[in-house]
C-alpha cells in the first residue's frame, strides 16, 4: 500500500506530511517519557524484526504471497506510541533504501500505515481485548485489529488518491477497500499467529491488559486520536458518506412526492437516476458493514481454533530460560 511519487498532488502531500510530523512528534515525546532506557534499543530491533518478518512469505493462493505489515502486532507488544515510532522507522528506511513508497508521499504513507492503521488498530485491540477475556480474547482482538488497521489505511489511501484526482473516489474506494478487506484477513491471521507464538514462548513480553504500557498521559492519546480523526475527516468522510447524496435524493423525492402525485412508484425523469445512486451508496455501506462483521466473526473463530479451551484464560508457557545463557 506504499504510494509512489507522483500519485498524490502537492496539497495532499503537504497535508499528510503536516499531520504525520505532528503525530510522530507526539509519539516520540510519549516514548521518551514512558520508555525505560533499557528498552530503547528494542525500538530499532523491532523495526528490524518487522522488516525481516516481512520477508517471510506466507503462501496465500497460487503465486500470491502475503506478508505482515505489523503495526498492530508491535502496538500490542510495545504500546501505540512506540509502535508509531517503529512503523515510521520501517517506512522511512523502506522509502530511502528500497524505494518502496515515494519520498514526496512519505507523509501520506506514514499517516496511513504508521499513524492511522497502527493507532486505530491498537484502539480496536484495546477495546476488544478489554471485553473478551483471556488469551483467546487477546488473539481474537489482535486478529480483528490487524484487519481493521489494513482497511483503515487503505481507506485513507483511497481518499488521498481521490483528493489528488489520480483515481476517482467511487473507483478507488471500491477497489482499495475491497482488495484490502481481503488482504486484511491475511494481516489479521498472521498477526494473530505470531502474537500467539510470542505469548506461548515468552508471556512476560506481552503487556497484560490494563497494565503497562498503558499511557499515563491521556492527553497524548487523545491528541493522537484527534490527529487520526482529522485525517479521516479530511480524506475519507467527504467521499465516503453516501448519505448526503442519499439523503438529498430521498428528500427531493419526498418533496416531489408532496408536489406530484401520491404514487410512490411514478417518478419524473430527472429523478429517475436518484434512487439508483441512493441505493448504490447504501449498498456500498451495507457491504462495508457486512464485511466488517464477517471479519469480526472470523477473528473469533480463529481464536477458538488456535487457543484450546484449557488455555483460554491465559497459558503459562514452559519454564522460561534465562535471558543470558551460561
Partner 1 sequence: MNLLGHHHAHHESPIHRISAFLKLGVGLALILGTVLMPVGCHVWFAVVAVFLALVAWLSRLSSFFLFKRLLVLSPVVLGVAAVNAFQPSARVSWLGIAVKSALCLFTVILVSNTTPFSKILRVLKLVRVPGLLVTTIALMHRYLFVLAGEAERMRRARASRTFTRRRRVRWHTLATVAGQLFVRASERAERIYDAMCARGWK
Partner 2 sequence: MNPTIEVANLKYRYHDGTEALRGVSLRVAPGECVGLLGPNGSGKSTLLLHLNGILPDRPVADGTVRILGESVTSQNLETIRRQVGLVFQDPDDQLFCATVQEDVAFGPQQLGLNETEVRARVQQALTQVGLAGFGHRATHHLSHGEKRRVCLAGVLACEPTVLVLDEPTSDLDPRGRREFKALLRQITATKLIATHDLELVVELCSRAIVLDHGVVVADGPAVELLNDEELMLAHGLERPHILRHRHPH
Indicate the residue among 52 and 325 with the shorter CB distance to partner 2. Answer: 325
Residue 277 CB: number of other CB atoms within 10 A? 14
Taking contact as CB under 8 A, which single stretch among the options 29-37, 137-145, 297-305, 316-324 is the one that binds partner 2? 316-324
Q: Is 32 among the residues that bind partner 1 (CB under 8 A)?
A: yes
Judged by CB under 8 A, the chain residues 33 through 62 that form the site for partner 1 are 37-49, 51-53, 55-59
HSE value, Cβ hemisphere, 13 Å, CA-based, for 165: 3
Q: How far apart are CA 83 and CA 88, in angstroms?
A: 8
Q: Which partner in partner 1, partner 2, none is near 232 (CB below 5 to 8 A by kind)?
A: none
Judged by CB under 8 A, the chain residues 126 through 185 that form the site for partner 1 are 164-168, 171-172, 175
Q: Is 315 among the residues that bind partner 1 (CB under 8 A)?
A: no
Instruction: Tell me the number of residues near partner 2 by CB under 8 A.
Output: 9
Strand locations in 106-217 (E): none
Q: Which partner in partner 2, partner 1, none is near 322 (CB below 5 to 8 A by kind)?
A: partner 2
Residue 325's Cβ-count burial label (10 Å; 0-12, 13-18, 19+) is: exposed
Instruction: Tell me the number of residues near partner 1 by CB under 8 A.
Output: 73
- Residue 77 in contact with residue 205, Cβ under 8 Å? yes
Indicate the residue among 97 and 211 with the shorter CB distance to partner 1. Answer: 97
Question: What are the CB-based long-range contacts (under 8 Å, 24+) for 62-66?
Answer: 66/183, 66/186, 66/187, 66/190
Strand, coil or helix: 42: helix
Q: Is 326 among the residues that bind partner 2 (CB under 8 A)?
A: yes
Q: Is 41 among the residues that bind partner 2 (CB under 8 A)?
A: yes
Report CA torsion sign: 6, 7, 9, 14: negative
Q: Which partner in partner 1, partner 2, none is near 193 (CB below 5 to 8 A by kind)?
A: partner 1
Q: Is 210 among the residues that bind partner 2 (CB under 8 A)?
A: no
Q: Is 325 among the residues that bind partner 2 (CB under 8 A)?
A: yes
- Residue 6 in contact with residue 102, Cβ under 8 Å? yes
Residue 69's Cβ-count burial label (10 Å; 0-12, 13-18, 19+) is: buried
Indicate the residue among 58 and 98 with the shorter CB distance to partner 2. Answer: 98
Q: How far apart are CA 157 and CA 159, in angstroms?
A: 5
Q: How far apart are CA 140 and CA 305, in angstroms?
A: 10
Rounded to a whole number of angstroms, the minimum distance from the CB of residue 51 to partner 2 is 14
Q: Is 320 among the residues that bind partner 2 (CB under 8 A)?
A: yes
Rounded to a whole number of angstroms, the minimum distance from the CB of residue 44 to partner 2 is 9
Indicate the residue among 242 and 253 with the shorter CB distance to partner 1. Answer: 242
Q: Which partner in partner 1, partner 2, none is near 164 (CB below 5 to 8 A by kind)?
A: partner 1
* Phi, psi at 80, each rounded to 5°: -65, -40
Q: Is 211 among the residues that bind partner 2 (CB under 8 A)?
A: no
Q: Catalog residues that contact partner 2 under the rule CB under 8 A.
A: 41, 319-326
Amino acid at each position: 500500500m506504499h504510494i509512489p511519487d507522483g500519485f498524490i498532488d502537492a496539497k495532499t502531500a503537504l497535508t499528510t506530511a503536516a499531520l504525520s510530523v505532528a503525530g510522530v512528534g507526539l509519539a516520540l515525546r510519549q516514548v521518551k517519557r514512558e520508555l525505560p532506557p533499557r528498552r530503547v534499543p528494542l525500538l530499532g530491533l523491532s523495526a528490524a524484526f518487522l522488516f525481516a518478518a516481512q520477508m517471510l512469505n506466507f503462501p496465500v493462493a497460487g503465486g500470491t504471497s502475503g506478508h505482515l505489515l505489523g503495526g498492530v502486532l508491535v502496538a500490542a507488544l510495545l504500546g501505540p506510541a512506540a509502535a508509531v515510532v517503529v512503523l515510521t522507522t520501517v517506512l522511512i528506511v523502506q522509502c530511502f533504501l528500497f524505494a518502496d513508497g515515494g519520498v514526496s508521499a512519505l507523509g501520506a504513507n506514514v499517516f496511513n500505515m504508521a499513524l492511522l492503521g497502527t493507532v486505530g488498530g491498537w484502539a480496536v485491540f484495546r477495546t476488544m481485548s478489554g471485553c473478551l477475556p483471556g488469551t483467546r480474547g487477546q488473539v481474537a482482538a489482535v486478529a480483528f485489529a490487524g484487519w481493521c488497521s489494513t482497511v483503515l489505511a487503505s481507506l485513507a489511501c483511497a481518499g488521498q488518491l481521490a483528493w489528488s484526482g489520480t483515481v476517482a473516489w467511487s473507483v478507488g474506494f471500491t477497489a482499495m477497500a475491497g482488495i484490502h478487506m481481503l488482504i486484511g484477513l491475511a494481516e489479521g491471521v498472521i498477526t494473530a499467529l505470531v502474537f500467539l507464538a510470542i505469548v506461548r514462548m515468552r508471556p512476560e513480553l506481552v503487556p497484560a491488559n490494563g497494565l503497562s504500557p498503558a499511557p499515563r498521559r491521556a492527553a497524548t492519546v487523545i491528541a493522537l486520536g484527534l490527529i487520526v480523526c482529522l485525517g479521516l475527516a479530511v480524506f475519507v468522510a467527504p467521499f465516503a458518506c453516501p448519505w448526503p447524496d442519499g439523503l438529498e435524493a430521498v428528500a427531493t423525492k419526498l418533496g416531489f412526492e408532496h408536489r406530484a402525485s401520491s404514487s410512490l412508484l411514478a417518478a419524473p425523469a430527472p429523478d429517475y437516476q436518484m434512487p439508483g445512486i441512493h441505493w448504490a451508496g447504501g449498498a456500498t455501506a451495507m457491504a462495508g458493514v457486512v464485511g466488517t462483521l464477517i471479519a469480526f466473526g472470523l477473528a473469533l473463530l480463529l481464536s477458538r481454533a488456535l487457543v484450546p479451551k484449557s488455555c483460554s484464560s491465559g497459558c503459562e508457557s514452559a519454564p522460561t530460560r534465562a535471558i543470558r545463557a551460561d
